[in-house]
Amino acid sequence: MDMLLLAAACVASVWGIIFLRLAGLLGLVVAMLIAGTVFGHPFFHVSALTLDRALLVFALVLWAIQYRLGLLVAKPWSSADAILAIFISILTLNVFLHNWRVEGMEPVSRFAFYYAMPMLTYWLARQCSATLRGIQGIYVTMAVFGLYVAGTAVMERLGWTWAIFPRGAFPFCVGYC
C-alpha cells in the first residue's frame, strides 16, 4: 500500500508541475476552489488537513516565491480591500478577545475556515495577473464544473447513487435535491 501511495505521489507531482506550468497561480487558486467543493473533508482529511487547505498553503508559498523572484507585482489596495481588512481585523479581535478555547477551540477553527481561508483565496486571486487565455480557461473550467454539479444533483434526485463520484461529495444536497 505504501508503494502505491508513493507511486501516486510521484505521478501527482509530475502532473502538478505540468498543470502549474500551463495554468499558473490563478489556475491553482481555481483548482483549490474545486478541490474544496468536490474533495472536501468527507472525501479526504488527516486531522484538520484537507486537500483544499494543503493547496491553499502551496498557493501561498508559490505566490511568495514568485513575488520574491520579481515575477509578480503586488497590486495596490482599493477601498474594497481596506473594508475587507477592517472586517477581518474586527472578526479576529472578536474571536480572540472572547473565550476562544471553548469546545475544542471551535471559534478559532470557524474563523480560520469560514473567514480567513476565503479572504486569503480572494487575495491570492487578486494578486494574479490574468490574461485573456487564463480568463477563458477559468470560464471553461467553471462551465464544466457547473455541469458536473448539476449532473450530480440530478443523479442524487433520481437516486442513482452508484453514478455519483466521489460519494458524499455534496452531502448538503441529500434530501433537498
| Same domain membership, residue 80 and residue 17 | yes
pLDDT at 170: 56
Looking at the fold, whether 93 and 140 belong to one and the same domain comes out as: no
pLDDT at 21: 83
Q: Report pLDDT for 145.
A: 93
Total residue length of the chain: 177
Tell me the residue range of the domain where 157 lies: 131-177
pLDDT score, position 177: 44
Q: What is the pTM of this model?
A: 0.77
Same domain, 86 and 98: yes
Indicate if 95 and 39 belong to the same structural domain.
yes
Q: State which of 129, 144, 167 marks the end of a domain.
A: 129
Q: How far apart are CA 95 and CA 139, in angstroms?
A: 37
Contacts by 152-155 with C-beta closer than 8 Å and gap 24+? 153/177
| pLDDT score for 107 | 84
8 A C-beta contact, residue 54 and residue 40: no
Q: Look at residue 93 in the predicted model and tell me its pLDDT.
A: 92
170 and 99, same structural domain?
no
Distances (CA, A) of 55 to 15, 29, 104, 118, 146: 14, 8, 25, 13, 21
Residue 42's H or E segment, with its range, is none
> What one-letter code names the amino acid at 62?
L
Q: Give the pLDDT score at 176.
A: 47
Domain identity same for 42 and 76: yes
Which pLDDT score is estimated for 37?
83
User: Final residue of a domain: which of 129, 144, 165?
Assistant: 129
User: How do residues 114-143 score in pLDDT, each as one tens digit?
Assistant: 899 999 999 998 888 888 988 898 899 999
pLDDT of residue 127: 87
Q: How many structural domains comprise the chain?
A: 2
Looking at residue 169, its pLDDT comes to 55
| C-alpha to C-alpha distances, 38 to 87, 103, 122, nearest whole angstrom | 28, 28, 19
Q: Taking the CA atoms of the chain, what radius of gyration do you get in angstroms?
A: 19
Across-strand partners of 122? none
Residue 48: its pLDDT value, please? 73
- pLDDT given for residue 1 in this prediction: 66
List all residues 6 or more positions away from 33 whose beta carbon is below 8 Å from its beta carbon: 52, 121
CA-wise closest residue to 72 among 59, 81, 84, 82: 59
Residue ranges, the chain, pLDDT below 70? 1, 44-45, 168-177
One domain for residues 95 and 147: no
Residues 97, 30 share a domain: yes
Cβ burial of 56 (10 Å; 0-12, 13-18, 19+) is: buried
Could you tell me if 121 and 144 lie in one domain? no
Shared domain check, 95 and 54: yes
Do residues 111 and 169 share a domain?
A: no
Question: Are 149 and 114 within one domain?
Answer: no
